[in-house]
Every structure is written in C-alpha cells, then in structure tokens.
Amino acid sequence: MLRLNQLYKLKPTRITSRLLPSLRAYHSIQHDNALPLNSNSIEYKILNRALEEYTPSLGFTDEAILKSTRELGYNDSIIALFNNGSKFLDFYLKKQRLELLNFIESEEFKTLRSETDKVKYLVKTRLLLNAPYVQHLNQLQGRLIFFENLEDSFSELHQLADDVLFYSGDASNQFDWYTKRFEVASKYVMLETFMSQDKSEGFAKTLELVDEKFAEGSAVEETMEFLKFNAISLVSLIKSQASRG
Amino acid sequence: MSAIAKSIPKQVKFSTLSQLKQHAKDITQPTPQPEYKFGKLSNDQKAFLDRVIRVDQAGELGANYIYAGQHFVLSRTEPQLKDLIQHMWDQEVHHHNTFNKLQAQRRVRPSILTPIWKVGAFGLGAVTALISKEAAMACTVAVETVIGGHYNDQLRVLNTKFNDIETTEVLSGKDETGSVISNEVTELKDIIKTFRDEELEHLDTAIEHDAESAVPYWLITDVIKLTCKAAIFTAERV
Ligand SMILES: [Fe+2]
Ligand SMILES: [Fe+2]
C-alpha cells in the first residue's frame, strides 16, 4: 500500500481534507447497511473473475480484466468503465476487506478473548488474503500511491483499520480512537511491505512479525508522526468544513 | 404483534416496575422488532445521525467537565452546594456514558478535539465558580439553555425527517412506511428527550440558586452561550 510519510510531501490539503469525513458515516443496528460492493453488478462479476482467474499470473493488469470480460461474453469497450485499472485496485482492497466479515464468524475468532488477540488474528488474516497475489504486491503498492488513486487507497486503509478495531471490540471514545486507528493502519502498511519480500514457508516470518508488532502493551511508536499528521489534517479539515457550512 | 398491543402508544409506562425494567436494560441497544424489515437510511439521514452522536457526545463530555470544574472549586468555597453540584454532575456522567456507547456501537467518529473540550470545559466551570457562586450558576444557565435548545432542534429533525424509510411487515409483506418507525430512531429520540428534560432541570436549579443576581449576568451568559454555539458548530464537523 502506501508509505504514510510520503503523504506529507504530496499536497496535504487535498488528501486530508477528505480523510475524516470520508470515513464511514453511522452504522445502523436495525436498518440495512449498504456494503461498498454490489456482487450483482456486471463490474463486480468481471473484476472478480479477473482477480480469481488471471491476476495471480498476470497481475493487476488490463489484460487480466480483458480476458475476464471476453470470457463472460461482454464487449471489449466495457473496459473503459474501469478507469485505467484504478477501479480494479479499489475493488481488490474492498473485496479483501469485506472478506473479514466471514472470518469474524469463524470458530477460531470466537475463541479469542482479548482485543489484541483479535486484532492480530484479523491483521494476519487480511495479510494472508494477499497470498495468491504476493508477487504483484509491489506493483499494487506502487500504483496505489499514484496521485489519482491516493485518496481512495488512503481512505480504504483507514476503513481497514476501523473494521479491524471495530470487529475486535474497540470502544475508544476520545483521542485514542484516532491513535489506535493510526497505529493499526501504519503497522499494516509496514507488514504488507515486509510480506512482499517474505520467502518463508506460509509467510511464517510475516506472521511472527505481526505478533511482535502488536505485542500486548506496545506503545504507539509513531506518536510524533501522528501528531504532525493531525496538525495538518486538522487545519485543512476545519477550513473545508467551515466553508461548507 | 396483536392489534391491541399496536394500538398502545409506544412510550406508555404501566407501573414503576416496568420503569425499573426499562432502567435495567441498556438503553443504547434498540429493542428488537423482528416483525418488521427496515430499509436503508438515506445518506442525509446517516450524516445527520453521525453528527448528532458526535456533537452530543462532545457536549456531554463538556458538561461533565464543567461540573467537575465547578465541583472542584465550590466544594471548597461553598460546601453547602457540594451535593447539589454532585447530583447534576452524576447526571452528566450518565449522559456522557450513554453517548459513548452509542458512538462506539454505531461506529461514529468521536470529535478529534476531545482534549480541547476537556480543558476548556473544566476551565469554564472552575473560573466561573471562582468568580462567585452566582457566576457559576449563570454559567449553568447559559450552557443548559443552549444544550436544551440544541436537543430540541435535533428532536424536530428526528420527528419529521425519518418517516420515509421503507418499512415492511415481514409476514404479511404489508407496507408500513411512515407508520412504523424503527426503535433505533424512536429510542434515540427518547434518550434525547430524557436528557433534554434533565438539562432543563439543571437550568431551573441554577435560577433557583440566584444565577440572575450574578454581576454582570447578561455578559456572562451571552459570552458563554456564544462559546457553546461555536463549540457545537465545530464538534458536529470536527
Ligand atoms: Fe447532559
Ligand atoms: Fe446538564
């Protein structure tokens, strides 16, 4: 995915002004909550097939999308829908994040008691979902920090951290809400980068590193970076919201 | 649900016993209504609920800290007021805890400015209490007036803008849009109503305790009212 400190160098106003408001707004208990992907759409079917059949060998390429499009009997022109493949990346991130919904129903997850154990389990799970695509992770990360993809991938990263923490029973109510999400997001980025180079059997080294990084009682190491980040986002957030009224 | 049960207005309480039960239940968990299926909330409705929970949580945090500041000073300078302040403070703690639960459960982002709200509110409570007991009461009047009005604004929207959500009776498939409202919305209204009434009690208490003889009363209340309004504007958004 993307290196957070690279973000400072890119126009912070554009990224951060949308960051906080773009987080998921209000989760309903009794009303339907819309999922971010619609598995009945043509777009979903094409991208899903491309991902499952062709991406492991061809990467996140137009070629993979094209093969899937033809196989499903659609006209080649439909590929214009996918916005030079950036929709494909976004689809990948959303789909893998939604996969966590299945894992929180698993027997293994239900036996976990502490919030830390749950966070570790979900981070490991999400990392392992990258396994079939691991030789393309670098390509993926490289493209995600392209400017046109940056807002989406940044927001997806925060959604992932938010999902992981919510499913793990996080109930933080104050400033810690932000520090925890930032901690999970930045560690995840680091772990994913590590994983792309990991040649160990079953990514054992990556999984070990998850345990190490999320060790019980580990402090937020990035506090200073985080404060700097907040100072920037806060100013631009106030500006953007004040002008909206 | 039988026709008779349906004809009973929702908030009727039959006995103290049922009231006690009501209290034992976690008020942030909507009472299930398995007989109905509720469609999606619109983006505007979600954005509204999101703001409501964030700003009310921040407001109750602030109220909590204002009373903490008052208590800190007045328990020393005016010990006869200690219990009275403690009672109002306890209610604020309950309000705040309730919104904390709602915020976590409904996945609402808390206000990023919580450290500032805490310092500011404690300072406001302590400084007005240091001026005089009347000034502290004038501060309560100002704060509770704004919060009471703010809760009323929210109730007005909850009453008028949440009647269009697609609702069907599961068994019969009958369309109940507009006639049956989810408990998620109804019970949020109940929470806000209860809290509003308690805020207005605090307001009355403050007036009974000579808030209006604070000098200069209008200056204190107007400045604090403006501050509260600015804080509400900010906390809804940031
Ligand atoms: Fe309150
Ligand atoms: Fe109050």
| B179-187 average pLDDT score | 95
CA distance linking residue A199 with residue A205, whole number of Å: 8
Q: Answer for the pair B190, B182: CB distance below 8 angstroms, yes or no.
A: no
A226 lies within 8 A of chain B by CB = no
User: What's the pLDDT at A33?
Assistant: 87
Q: What residue type is A60 in one-letter code? A: F
User: What's the pLDDT at B24?
Assistant: 63
> Chain A residue with minimal CA distance to B104?
A171
A29/B30 CB distance under 8 A: yes
CA distance linking residue B181 with residue B10, whole number of Å: 11
| B3-11 average pLDDT score | 47
State whether the Cα torsion A163-A169-A173-A174 is positive or negative: negative
B57 lies within 8 A of chain A by CB = yes
DSSP SS3 for B37: strand
> Chain B residue with minimal CA distance to A243?
B237
Give the mean pLDDT of chain A: 82
Is A23's pLDDT higher than 60? no
Q: What is the DSSP letter of A23?
A: S
- Which residues neighbour A59 within 8 Å (Cβ) at sequence distance 6 or greater? A133, A135, A136, A139
Residue-range domain boundaries for chain B: 37-237
B129 vs B14, higher pLDDT? B129
Q: Answer for the pair A108, A170: CB distance below 8 angstroms, yes or no.
A: no
CA distance linking residue A219 with residue B147, whole number of Å: 37
Which tokens belong to B147?
Answer: 């919060």
B106 lies within 8 A of chain A by CB = yes
User: What's the pLDDT at A151?
Assistant: 76
Task: Give B165 to chain A, closest Cα distance, Å.
Answer: 9
Percent of chain A with pLDDT over 70: 77
A230/B104 CB distance under 8 A: no
User: What's the pLDDT at A139?
Assistant: 83
User: What's the pLDDT at A140?
Assistant: 85
Is B77's pLDDT higher than 60? yes
| A176-182 average pLDDT score | 93
DSSP SS3 for A245: coil
| B198-217 average pLDDT score | 91
Is B8's pLDDT higher than 90? no
B107/A27 CB distance under 8 A: yes
User: What's the pLDDT at B169?
Assistant: 93
CA distance linking residue A67 with residue A47, whole number of Å: 10
CA distance linking residue A63 with residue A54, whole number of Å: 9
| Beta strands per DSSP E along B43-151 | none
Question: How far away, in angstroms, is B60 Cα from ligand 1 center?
Answer: 5
Task: Give A127 to chain B, closest Cα distance, Å.
Answer: 24
Q: Answer for the pair B67, B180: CB distance below 8 angstroms, yes or no.
A: no
Is B73's pLDDT higher than 90? yes
Least confident range from A136-145, A188-197, B131-140: namely: A136-145
B22 vs A194, higher pLDDT? A194
User: What's the pLDDT at A82?
Assistant: 82
Peptide bond into B216 cis (omega under 30): yes
- pLDDT interval class at B23 (50, 70, 90): low
Task: Give A86 to chain B, closest Cα distance, Å.
Answer: 25
Is B131's pLDDT higher than 70? yes
A111 vs B215, higher pLDDT? A111
- pLDDT interval class at B183 (50, 70, 90): very high
Q: Answer for the pair A196, A9: CB distance below 8 angstroms, yes or no.
A: no
- pLDDT interval class at A231 (50, 70, 90): low
CA distance linking residue B86 with residue B205, whole number of Å: 13
Give the mean pLDDT of chain B: 89
User: What's the pLDDT at A2?
Assistant: 38
Is A225's pLDDT higher than 50? yes
Task: Give B24 to chain A, closest Cα distance, Å.
Answer: 20
Q: Answer for the pair A140, A3: CB distance below 8 angstroms, yes or no.
A: no
User: What's the pLDDT at B111?
Assistant: 94
| B197-215 average pLDDT score | 92
Is B20's pLDDT higher than 60? no
User: What's the pLDDT at A36?
Assistant: 86
State whether the Cα torsion A64-A67-A70-A72 is positive or negative: negative
Task: Please tell me which of the candidates A34, A234, A242 has its beta carbon nearest to residue B40.
Answer: A34
A32/B109 CB distance under 8 A: no
pLDDT tens digits, one per residue of A47-57: 999 999 999 99
B112/A20 CB distance under 8 A: yes
Place of tokens 């206000």: B111
Residue A63: Cβ within 10 Å count? 12
CA distance linking residue A163 with residue B24, whole number of Å: 30
- pLDDT interval class at A241 (50, 70, 90): low
User: What's the pLDDT at B108?
Assistant: 95
B227 lies within 8 A of chain A by CB = no
> Whose CA is closest to A48, among A101, A102, A99?
A99
A82 vs B204, higher pLDDT? B204
* Residues flanking ion ligand 2, Cβ below 5 Å: B 63, 199, 202
> Chain A residue with minimal CA distance to B28?
A29
Question: How far away, in angstroms, is B73 Cα from ligand 2 center?
Answer: 18
- pLDDT interval class at B66 (50, 70, 90): very high
- Which residues neighbour B197 within 8 Å (Cβ) at sequence distance 6 or greater? none
